[in-house]
Amino acid sequence: MIKTLDRRTVIRALIVFVVGAALLTIAQIAVGDSAAAAPAAGTETAIAQAADAAAGSADLTDVEDPSVVEEDPGSPNPSGTTSRPLQLLFNGIIFGLLLALASVGLSLIYGTTGLSNFAHGEQVSFGAVLTYFLTTQQPVGLPFIPNDFVIGLPLIPAALIAVAVSAFTGWLQDKYLWSPLRRKRAAMVQQMIVSIGLSLALLNLLQWWIGGRRLRLTTAIDERWTIGPIVVGRTALFSGLIAIVCLLGVSFFLLRTRLGRATRAVADNPSLAAASGIKVDSIVRLVWIIAAGLAGLGGILLGLYDQGTAFDAGARMLLLMFAAVTLGGLGQAFGALAGSLVIGIVVEMSSLWLSTDLKIATALIILIGVLLVRPQGILGRAERVG
Amino acid sequence: MQELIDLLTGAGREIFGPATAAFALAAIGLNVHFGLTGLLNMGHAGFMLLGMYGYAITVRETGNMWLGILAATVAAIVFGLLLGWPTLKLRGDYLAIVTIAASEFVRFLGRSQVFKDLTGGSTGIRGTDFKEPFESLSPFPDKLVTIGPFTMHGSRSSSWWLVVVAWVIVGLFALLFWRLANSPWGRVLKGIREDEDAVRSLGKNVYAFKMQALVLGGVIGAFGGVLFALANAVQPDSMGRPTTFWVWTLLLLGGAATVFGPILGSILFWVSLVTVRGLAGWFIPENVMSATEREPFSLVLVGITLMCLVVFRPQGILGNKRELVISG
Amino acid sequence: MVNAPLSPAAEYFKDVPHEPGAPKPDPVIKATDVHRHFGGLTAVQVDHLEIQRNAITALIGPNGAGKSTFFNLLTGFDKPQRGQWWFNGNSLQSRSPAQVARAGMVRTFQLTKALNRMTVMENMRLGAPLQRGENMIAALFPALWRDHEKEITAKAEELLARFKLDTKKDDYAGELSGGQRKLLEMARALMSDPEIVMLDEPMAGVNPALTESLLDHIVELRNEGVTVLFVEHDMHMVRRISDWVVVMAEGRIIAEGPPETVMQNPAVQDAYLGAHHDTDLFEERQ
């Protein structure tokens, strides 16, 4: 599955990226204030986002600044961290791993069915929101039901239930929406717009259900440990470990099990796979279940890592997910993993020289750059592109 | 009874309101992209936002309305060229992703602290900074004016003056669309929509035609943004991904590739939205659905409508089934 | 009925040796050292080929021989790793498909590209070259293009009548039968009065009743001075109407000659060994 990288294209992609980042930096210096102290801008953005979200507009700005690890805004060396680049690298790896959980599913769905699923962001948010619904001590309600109630389960059982329910929604979607559309031979454009409508409906359903405010998945205080030059939060570490275990599990499944190999075959070439006797419809159903489950898990872990989530947490990540998947090669699960790590690290480390609210911009530039020079991504095959 | 009258007036007002006109214009632009040429532009809000910024910033700095219009046009043209250069060679779903990314990028830059002096950051640009030159041209009195059951201000923000100007502009661009769609230029675009290679084999420079369509549709979208800004204010978050999706919904509702589809779609969209919100407030008790929940509730219905439209009636209301833009 | 041996074009090939790469008295297309490979697979490796003007040349070969790829290369729809080719002495090698078409080399496609959601007449009008109305600004002023439009329409009606599609002119192309769409594509290709028409498997998917009619149309074209090059699997058609046959196998040209002798060539028979050359097979697209 691993193809040799074409060195010239990687160099071209890097050039595009460097030029784009340089332009952004220049623009930033020329037009605006100098890069605001990163932590301050980080927290401000987070609060601004929550306020906007509460006001009702679906706020699609950047992901919360995970460098909230730095507790003392404004000071050049926030408590604990002695090496900002290494800290950001670590943050980037963790963030990349969590992003990978969400992106792998997106990539597999594309590979097996050709669908760019614009509703995947909501799949991520759903897992997080459901977990909040189950664990919070605040009263919560359901749409149309007048009374509020408290469920208050502990985090781990709630998370497991949420992941299971998320996986179930994947099954539901494929059974009642996507496979009927495929049987009707609906064009890709049609399916894509359906996913857009679904995204709109689900985003607003989540907002209707749980409101626009910021949601904390756990009220436990996060311990911080200092390991060498970096500060590591306990939740960050555990989220990362869980993500690694799950990603290893997925990799094992894809590489070593018969079902997994069949899945890769379908993702690579559905008609050829069907011709060799693989039951494509069952594989696709399985892919939807796995993708939705992983996305839900990703949403939960991200909600823990960011110390909070919201109805649009996933929507805000959608572009990052697409960037990761495109970078790695649409349809290549391992590409999605590689792409997510690259995006995670780049996004985090860009705050070394760019203001934090321009962080996402680097991911967008990568996305556009990759599509320019090598639309099939790092691992993809040229034939896939138009 | 009074509530019924309020509901009807509120809904009725959406039939000719400036927001309806603004979105109708934006949809006409998207119609050039998707209805005529088959381009999957999922970043139309980016064009609208650039139009808004171009106009408002220029008027704020120079006080000249015409320069503002020129700036909005140039911004849209440049964005269209930049967007088109790498993407027009790509397949449909890649184009969709890149256009979303690019327009989010625009919104991002506008919203960021870094460019706050220029764009006002997340709060945007206040009406008082840029509306004056337009409003000063109004022949309507400078106070609330009631015509029939509708009361609006004569000249400020969402005003009778803006209503008149907006719909005249919509009419002009609808005429432009009709003229171009039924011309040889439009014919080439329709061919491209069907099959690019066939059109290439007939000697036409497909890339150039697509670029022209992208830029024209983008400029029209930018003007839609300007109208919206004149009715409200310049706010980057009002032009996000949902906005693009609303324009798609109302275009598909009315009928892509038709002349009046965008207009009908916009009217139906806004009237329905307001009506659903009103009816929800009316029939559903407060403890079952609070006032703040009505907006997302109505938008859930918008999402479901879009899905059903695309599956069951992709040609929309006015569309011709044989000329379906989205093949089943 | 058309008798191939008596065709006037046979004159041209009187003195041409029956070997691959043979020079022709009046070549309209010349190609040299054309190489196209995909990864490790060499699809096309043509040392030299000349296509005679004003004649019907068939390009045949078993599945996977590289005929369609070579076709795509000549018409600009694909780029080779190396190679040169000329049309009327003008180099075409880095030209886009649209430029190739404008130069006078027009093609059809194996999977017919009739524009289904446009009417037959609109399909035809699209084929006309040099339309001022296709300029975005000029399009706004009908006075600038109305007359040309009338001329185009008249010409289209003539061509449609010739191909017996005139009664269908206001129907959507999607409503026509498969064979009628093929005829439409051919008629549309003629709107620009091309010098050479390249037909990609014109018989593919056409019912036998229509085959005769198609064959007659192609011969008519040649008699009017148009050069025809077609890729085909159908040996019946090849024997019936072609003046000259070029045989490809595994990316190379292995034989050239008039239809009767080429079939006798042992190298050609070897290449086809095991292949069913009297059935219509869809060649797998590369």
pLDDT at B80 (0 to 100): 93
B-chain residue closest to C105, CA distance: B201
With cut-offs at 50, 70 and 90, classify the pLDDT of residue B145: confident
Q: Six-digit token pair at C166?
A: 């005139």
Pairs of residues, one from chain B and one from chain C, whose beta carbons lie less than 8 Å apart: 104
How far apart are the C-alpha atoms of B286 and B276, rounded to whole Å? 15
8 Å CB contact of B94 and A371: yes
CA distance C127 to chain B (A): 6
Number of domains composing chain B: 1
Select the highest-mean-pLDDT range: A138-152, B95-109, B212-226, C157-171.
B212-226
C8 versus A301: the higher-pLDDT residue is A301
Query: What mean pLDDT is predicted for residues A162-174?
Result: 95
8 Å CB contact of B300 and A144: no
Q: Identify all chain B residues contacting A181, using CB atoms and an 8 Å cutoff.
A: 311
B287 versus A224: the higher-pLDDT residue is A224
Q: Identify all chain B residues contacting A200, using CB atoms and an 8 Å cutoff.
A: 242, 245, 249, 299-300, 302-303, 306
Please indicate if any CB of chain A lies within 8 Å of the CB of B286: no
Please indicate if any CB of chain B lies within 8 Å of the CB of C111: no
Please indicate if any CB of chain C lies within 8 Å of the CB of B199: yes
Q: Six-digit token pair at C117?
A: 């959601």
8 Å CB contact of A32 and B307: no
Please indicate if any CB of chain C lies within 8 Å of the CB of B321: no
Q: Identify all chain B residues contacting C109, using CB atoms and an 8 Å cutoff.
A: 197-198, 201
C79-111 core/surface letters (b: 16 or more CB in 10 A; e: else)? ebeebebbbeeeebbebebbebbbbbbbbbbbe
For A153, residues 6+ apart whose C-beta sits below 8 A from its C-beta are: A134, A135, A161
* ipTM over the 0.95 cut-off: no
8 Å CB contact of B183 and C145: yes
pLDDT > 90 fraction of chain C, expressed in percent and rounded: 29
Q: Comparing C-alpha atoms, which of A193, A201, A195 is closest to residue B314?
A: A193
3-state SS track over C106-165? EECCCCCCCCCCCEHHHHHHHHCCCCHHHCHHHHCCHHHCHHHHHHHHHHHHHHHHHCCC
Query: What mean pLDDT is predicted for residues B221-240?
Result: 92
How far apart are the C-alpha atoms of B167 and B24, rounded to whole Å? 9
How far apart are the C-alpha atoms of C132 and C137, rounded to whole Å? 10
Query: What mean pLDDT is predicted for residues C55-59?
Result: 92
pLDDT at B229 (0 to 100): 93
CA distance B97 to chain C (A): 26
Query: What mean pLDDT is predicted for residues C189-217?
Result: 86
8 Å CB contact of C118 and B194: yes
A240-266 per-position pLDDT tens digit: 999 999 999 988 888 888 888 888 888
Q: What does the domain layout of chain A look like in residue ranges?
A: 2-72+81-373
- Cα-based distances in Å from C125 to A202, B190, B310: 46, 12, 31
Query: What mean pLDDT is predicted for residues A30-38?
Result: 45
B106 in a domain, yes or no? yes
- What letter does residue B151 receive in the DSSP assignment? E
B206's enclosing H/E stretch is helix B206-231
8 Å CB contact of A200 and B327: no
Can you give the residue range of the structural domain that contains B153?
A: 18-240
CA distance B312 to chain A (A): 11
How far apart are the C-alpha atoms of C79 and C56, rounded to whole Å? 25
8 Å CB contact of B201 and C106: yes
Asked if residues A286 and A67 have their Cβ atoms less than 8 Å apart, the reply is no
B275 in a domain, yes or no? no
How far apart are the C-alpha atoms of B251 and B216, rounded to whole Å? 17
B-chain residue closest to A41, CA distance: B113
pLDDT at C286 (0 to 100): 38
- What letter does residue B159 receive in the DSSP assignment? B
A106-123 core/surface letters (b: 16 or more CB in 10 A; e: else)? bbbbbbbbbbbbbbbbbb
With cut-offs at 50, 70 and 90, classify the pLDDT of residue A20: low
pLDDT at A126 (0 to 100): 95
3-state SS track over chain A? CCCCCCHHHHHHHHHHHHHHHHHHHHHHHHHCCCCCCHHHHHHHHHHHHHHHHHCCCCCCCCCCCHHHHCCCCCCCCCCCCCCHHHHHHHHHHHHHHHHHHHHHHHHHHHHHHCCCCCCHHHHHHHHHHHHHHHHCCCCECCCCCCCCECCCCCHHHHHHHHHHHHHHHHHHHHHHHHHHHHHCCCCHHHHHHHHHHHHHHHHHHHHHHHCCCCECCCCCCCCEEEECCEEEEHHHHHHHHHHHHHHHHHHHHHHHCHHHHHHHHHHHCHHHHHHCCCCHHHHHHHHHHHHHHHHHHHHHHHHHHCCCECCCHHHHHHHHHHHHHHHHCCCCHHHHHHHHHHHHHHHHHHHHCCCHHHHHHHHHHHHHHHHHHCCCCCCCCHHHCC
Query: What mean pLDDT is predicted for residues B195-214?
Result: 93
Please indicate if any CB of chain B lies within 8 Å of the CB of C188: yes
Please indicate if any CB of chain C lies within 8 Å of the CB of B201: yes
Q: Which amino acid is at B73?
A: T
C126 versus B322: the higher-pLDDT residue is C126
Cα dihedral sign for B21, B25, B26, B30? positive
Query: What mean pLDDT is predicted for residues C45-69?
Result: 89
How far apart are the C-alpha atoms of A171 and A162, rounded to whole Å? 14
Number of Cβ atoms within 10 Å of the Cβ of A77:
11
Asked if residues B188 and B209 have their Cβ atoms less than 8 Å apart, the reply is yes
Q: Six-digit token pair at C197?
A: 């028409």
Among A264-268, B239-243, C281-285, the least confident range? C281-285
8 Å CB contact of C98 and B176: no
A-chain residue closest to B103, CA distance: A364
Q: Identify all chain A residues contacting B97, using CB atoms and an 8 Å cutoff.
A: 116, 322, 326, 367, 371
HSE (CB half, 13 Å, CA atoms) of C183?
27
Asked if residues B241 and B303 have their Cβ atoms less than 8 Å apart, the reply is no
Query: How long a stretch of residues is chain A?
Result: 386
With cut-offs at 50, 70 and 90, classify the pLDDT of residue A69: very low
Q: Please state, rounded to an integer, the average pLDDT across all residues of chain C.
A: 85
Which chains share 3+ C-beta pairs under 8 angstroms with A?
B
Please indicate if any CB of chain B lies within 8 Å of the CB of C144: no
B309 in a domain, yes or no? no
B31 in a domain, yes or no? yes
B174-198 per-position pLDDT tens digit: 999 999 999 999 999 999 998 999 9
**SS3 state at C253:** strand
CA distance A105 to chain B (A): 17
User: Cα(first)–Cα(last) distance of chain B, in Å?
Assistant: 46
Please indicate if any CB of chain A lies within 8 Å of the CB of B245: yes
A-chain residue closest to B289, CA distance: A144
Report how far Cα A208 is from the mean position of its chain's Cα atoms.
22
Q: Identify all chain B residues contacting A27, using CB atoms and an 8 Å cutoff.
A: 114
Query: What mean pLDDT is predicted for residues B47-69?
Result: 92
pLDDT at B211 (0 to 100): 95
Query: What mean pLDDT is predicted for residues A271-288?
Result: 89
B252-300 per-position pLDDT tens digit: 999 988 999 999 999 999 998 888 888 888 787 777 777 788 888 888 9
pLDDT at A317 (0 to 100): 87
Number of Cβ atoms within 10 Å of the Cβ of B118:
16
pLDDT at A49 (0 to 100): 36
Q: Comparing C-alpha atoms, which of B27, B6, B5, B16 is closest to residue B252?
A: B27
8 Å CB contact of C96 and B200: yes
Q: Please state, rounded to an integer, the average pLDDT across all residues of chain B.
A: 88
- Cα-based distances in Å from A96 to A101, A128, A236, A287, A310: 9, 18, 12, 21, 20
A72 versus C246: the higher-pLDDT residue is C246
User: Cα(first)–Cα(last) distance of chain C, in Å?
Assistant: 36
B-chain residue closest to C127, CA distance: B202
Question: Which one of C116, C145, C189 has the shortest CB-CB distance to B184?
Answer: C145
pLDDT at A161 (0 to 100): 93
8 Å CB contact of C139 and B198: no
Task: Answer whether residue A37 shows pLDDT above 60.
Answer: no
How far apart are the C-alpha atoms of A301 and A307, rounded to whole Å? 10
A-chain residue closest to B248, CA distance: A193
8 Å CB contact of B299 and A200: yes
Relative to beta strand C27-38, strand C252-257 is unpaired
pLDDT at A255 (0 to 100): 86
B83 in a domain, yes or no? yes
C-chain residue closest to B204, CA distance: C98
A315-354 per-position pLDDT tens digit: 888 988 988 888 887 667 888 888 898 888 888 888 777 7
CATH code of the domain occupying A2-72+81-373: 1.10.3470
C44's enclosing H/E stretch is strand C41-52
8 Å CB contact of C115 and B191: yes
Task: Answer whether residue B110 shows pLDDT above 80.
Answer: yes
Among A48-62, B15-29, B167-181, C118-132, the least confident range? A48-62
Please indicate if any CB of chain B lies within 8 Å of the CB of C127: yes
**SS3 state at B125:** strand
pLDDT at A277 (0 to 100): 85
**SS3 state at B24:** helix
pLDDT at B267 (0 to 100): 94
Task: List the Cα angle B91/B97/B98 in 5-degree steps.
Answer: 85
pLDDT at A59 (0 to 100): 36
B298-326 per-position pLDDT tens digit: 889 888 988 998 888 888 889 887 776 65
Relative to beta strand C227-231, strand C56-60 is parallel
What is the model's pTM? 0.85
Please indicate if any CB of chain B lies within 8 Å of the CB of C285: no
CA distance B6 to chain C (A): 44
Residue of B201, B209, B324 to mutate, testing the C interface (most C Cβ within 10 Å of its Cβ): B201
Task: Answer whether residue C276 shows pLDDT above 80.
Answer: no
pLDDT at C7 (0 to 100): 61
